[in-house]
C-alpha cells in the first residue's frame, strides 16, 4: 500500500502533560498511517508510557489533541477507544480466568457483537499461538504465554490501531522472534506503535522511528531514510539521548 | 456492558476461594445464631401460650438472625470491596477496563451489581434457613420479606461505600481497613447519643435497618438508603473519572 495515500489512523498534535510542576511530555506530535509500524524509542523516563496512555485515552492531556481514525478522543472517547488495542507495560491479565474466558471478556468489553465472538477468538488465538492453552488458567502459564495472551487481548477486536508497550520484555530469544514476526504480520493490516528498548528489534520490524527524550520528540525518520544516510539507529539514539561526549565515544567504538 | 462487568466480577470472585470461604463462614455463624434462638424459643414456648398476643416464631427467631446477618456482612464487605478497584489497580488489570470503550459509570455499576448478586446469594441462604421453620409451624411472610428487603438495602449501602473507598487507593489492605472503619463508625455512631432526634441517630446505618428488622418499611428509611447508595456510587464514578485528569 502506498504510504502517502493510506488513511491516517493516529493523529496526535501538540500533546503536553504535566504532573504537578513536572512536565512529563511536551509538545509531542505523532502521525501514523494504516499499514505502518512505528518504533517508539527513548530512555527510561522519557515519557513514552505517558504518551501511550494519552493516545489510548487512559490519561487526559494537559494540552493538545488525539484523533483515532479522525475521531477525537476527547469528544467521542467510546468510538475512539473501540478502534484501539492496547497492551500496557504490565499486561492486564486476570490470573484466575481461563485464556478463553479472558479473551472473550476483552472482546465483549470492546463491544464485539455476539455472533462474531467465536470466529474472532479462534483467529486471535491462532495468530498468537494460543490454540493449545485455551482451557488453562492464565496464572498457570509461563511468562511468554502470558505476554501472548496480552497481545491477543489487544488484537481480538480487530482494532485499526495497536499500541504495544514493550511487548518482548522478559521473553527468551525464540519467543522474541515469534512476537516480532507477529508484529510484522499485524503491521500489514493495522497500524502498530511499538515501544521497546531493543534497537535491532526496531530495525527489523518497524517502518519508521520516533525517539523521545526528556518529554520531547527529538527524532522522526523512516528506517529506509536511516539506511540511506548510512547511520545506525544506535548512533542516532546515543547522539540524541546522551551528552555529546559520551555519544562520541560510542561512535569511536 | 454493565452486565458483562458484573459477570466478570462474579466469575473472578467465585474462581477464588474467598467467596466460598465467606459463604461458608457466614452460613456457619448464622446457623449457630439460628439454633440458639430456636433453642430459646422452645424453652419459652409454654409461657408464650399464656400471653394474650404472643410474639411469633418469626419475631423471636428470624428477626435476630437477620440482625446478626447485617453485622456479619458488615465485617465481610471490606474483604469483597477491596478487590473491586484497589486490587485491580495493584494487579494492573484496571487498564483493561479503562482502555475499553466503556464509561466509568459502566465500570462502577458493573462492579456494584456484581457484588450485589453475591450478597443476594447470601440473603437467599438466610431466607432458606428461615423457611426451614415452615416444617414445624407457620411464618409471618411480611416480616420475613421486610427483613430480606432491609438486608438487601443495607448490603447495597455497604457495597457502595466500600466501592468508593476502594477507588481512593491502590492498596487493597488500606481499602479494606478504611471500609471497615467507616462502616463500623456509621454503625455505632448513635451509641453515645441519648437524644432520640439527634442528627447522629439519623445518620446511623443501624437505626434505619432496625425498623426493617421490626417489619416497618418507612419511606424515610428508604430515602436514606437510596441517597446513601447513590451518593457513594456517584463519588466513586467521579473519583475514577478524575483519575484520568490527575494521572
Tell me which residue in A58, A93, A101 faces B99 most closely, judged by beta carbons: A58
* pLDDT value for A200: 86
pLDDT tens-digit profile of B107-118? 999 999 999 999
The model's pTM is 0.91
Q: How far apart are CA B129 and CA B139, in angstroms?
A: 12
Do residue B1 and residue A90 have CB atoms under 8 angstroms apart?
A: no
Q: How far apart are CA A203 and CA A218, in angstroms?
A: 18
Mutate which of B101, B105, B114 to disrupt the A interface (most A C-beta within 10 Å)?
Answer: B101
Q: Nearest-CA residue of chain A relative to B89?
A: A92
pLDDT tens-digit profile of A9-28? 899 999 999 988 888 999 99
Tell me which residue in B91, B94, B100 faces A110 most closely, judged by beta carbons: B100
Taking any CB pair shorter than 8 Å as contact, residues of chain A touching chain B are: 17, 19, 50, 53, 56-60, 77-82, 84, 86, 88, 90-97, 101, 105-106, 108-111, 153
pLDDT tens-digit profile of B6-57? 999 999 999 988 999 999 999 999 999 999 999 998 888 888 878 877 778 8
Asked if residue B102 lies in contact with residue A109, where contact means CB atoms within 8 angstroms, the answer is: yes
- For residue A233, what are the CA distances in angstroms to A141, A173, A206, B223? 35, 21, 12, 66
- Long-range contact set of residues B215-224: C-beta below 8 Å, sequence gap at least 24: B215/B63, B215/B140, B215/B142, B215/B143, B215/B146, B215/B147, B216/B146, B217/B146, B217/B149, B222/B153
Residues from chain A that touch B101, judged by Cβ atoms under 8 A, are 77-82, 109-111
Q: Nearest-CA residue of chain A relative to B14?
A: A96
What is the 8-class DSSP label of residue A132?
Answer: G
Q: How do beta strands A84-87 and A22-33 pair?
A: unpaired
- Count of CB atoms within 10 A of residue B28's CB? 11
* pLDDT value for B52: 75
Please determine, for the modelled complex, whether the ipTM score is greater than 0.90: no
pLDDT tens-digit profile of B57-87? 888 888 899 999 999 999 999 999 999 999 9
E strand or H helix at B148:
helix B141-168
Residues from chain A that touch B15, judged by Cβ atoms under 8 A, are 96-97
pLDDT tens-digit profile of B186-242? 888 777 666 656 677 777 888 888 888 888 888 989 999 999 999 999 999 999 999
The C-alpha R_g of chain A, in whole angstroms, comes to 18
Amino acid at each position: 500500500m502506498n504510504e502517502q495515500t493510506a488513511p491516517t489512523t493516529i493523529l496526535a498534535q501538540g500533546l503536553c502533560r504535566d504532573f504537578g510542576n513536572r512536565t512529563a511530555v511536551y509538545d509531542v506530535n505523532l502521525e501514523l498511517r494504516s499499514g505502518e509500524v512505528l518504533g517508539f524509542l527513548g530512555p527510561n523516563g522519557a515519557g513514552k508510557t505517558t504518551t501511550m496512555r494519552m493516545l489510548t485515552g487512559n490519561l487526559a492531556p494537559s494540552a493538545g489533541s488525539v484523533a483515532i481514525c479522525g475521531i477525537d478522543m476527547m469528544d467521542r472517547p467510546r468510538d475512539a477507544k473501540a478502534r484501539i488495542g492496547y497492551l500496557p507495560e504490565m499486561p492486564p491479565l486476570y490470573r484466575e480466568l481461563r485464556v478463553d474466558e479472558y479473551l472473550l471478556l476483552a472482546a465483549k468489553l470492546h463491544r464485539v457483537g455476539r455472533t462474531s465472538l467465536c470466529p474472532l477468538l479462534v483467529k486471535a488465538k491462532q495468530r498468537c499461538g494460543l490454540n493449545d492453552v485455551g482451557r488453562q488458567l492464565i496464572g498457570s502459564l509461563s511468562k511468554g504465554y502470558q505476554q501472548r495472551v496480552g497481545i491477543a487481548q489487544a488484537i481480538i477486536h480487530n482494532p485499526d490501531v495497536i499500541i504495544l508497550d514493550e511487548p518482548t520484555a522478559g521473553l527468551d530469544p525464540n519467543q522474541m522472534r515469534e512476537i516480532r514476526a507477529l508484529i510484522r504480520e499485524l503491521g500489514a493490516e493495522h497500524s502498530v506503535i511499538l515501544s521497546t528498548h531493543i534497537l535491532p528489534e526496531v530495525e527489523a520490524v518497524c517502518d519508521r522511528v520516533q525517539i523521545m527524550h526528556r518529554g520531547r520528540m527529538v527524532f522522526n525518520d523512516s528506517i529506509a531514510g536511516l539506511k540511506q544516510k548510512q547511520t545506525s539507529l544506535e548512533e542516532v539514539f546515543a547522539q540524541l539521548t546522551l551528552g555529546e561526549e559520551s555519544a562520541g565515544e560510542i561512535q569511536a567504538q | 456492558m454493565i452486565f458483562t462487568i458484573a459477570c466478570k466480577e462474579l466469575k473472578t470472585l467465585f474462581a477464588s476461594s474467598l467467596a466460598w470461604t465467606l459463604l461458608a463462614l457466614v452460613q456457619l455463624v448464622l446457623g449457630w445464631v439460628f439454633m440458639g434462638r430456636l433453642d430459646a424459643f422452645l424453652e419459652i414456648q409454654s409461657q408464650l401460650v399464656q400471653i394474650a398476643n404472643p410474639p411469633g416464631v418469626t419475631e423471636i427467631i428470624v428477626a435476630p438472625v437477620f440482625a446478626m446477618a447485617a453485622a456479619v456482612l458488615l465485617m465481610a464487605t471490606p474483604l469483597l470491596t477491596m478487590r473491586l478497584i484497589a486490587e485491580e489497580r495493584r494487579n494492573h488489570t484496571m487498564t483493561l477496563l479503562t482502555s475499553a470503550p466503556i464509561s466509568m459509570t459502566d465500570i462502577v455499576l458493573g462492579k456494584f451489581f456484581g457484588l450485589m448478586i453475591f450478597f443476594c446469594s447470601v440473603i437467599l441462604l438466610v431466607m432458606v434457613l428461615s423457611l426451614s421453620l415452615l416444617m414445624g409451624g407457620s411464618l409471618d411472610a411480611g416480616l420475613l420479606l421486610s427483613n430480606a428487603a432491609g438486608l438487601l438495602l443495607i448490603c447495597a449501602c455497604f457495597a457502595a461505600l466500600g466501592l468508593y473507598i476502594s477507588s481512593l487507593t491502590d492498596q487493597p489492605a488500606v481499602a479494606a481497613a478504611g471500609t471497615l472503619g467507616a462502616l463500623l463508625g456509621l454503625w455505632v455512631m448513635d451509641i453515645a447519643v441519648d437524644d432520640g432526634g439527634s442528627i447522629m441517630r439519623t445518620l446511623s446505618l443501624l437505626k434505619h435497618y432496625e425498623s426493617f428488622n421490626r417489619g416497618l418499611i418507612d419511606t424515610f428509611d428508604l430515602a436514606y438508603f437510596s441517597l446513601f447508595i447513590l451518593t457513594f456510587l456517584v463519588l466513586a464514578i467521579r473519583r475514577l473519572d478524575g483519575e484520568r485528569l490527575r494521572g
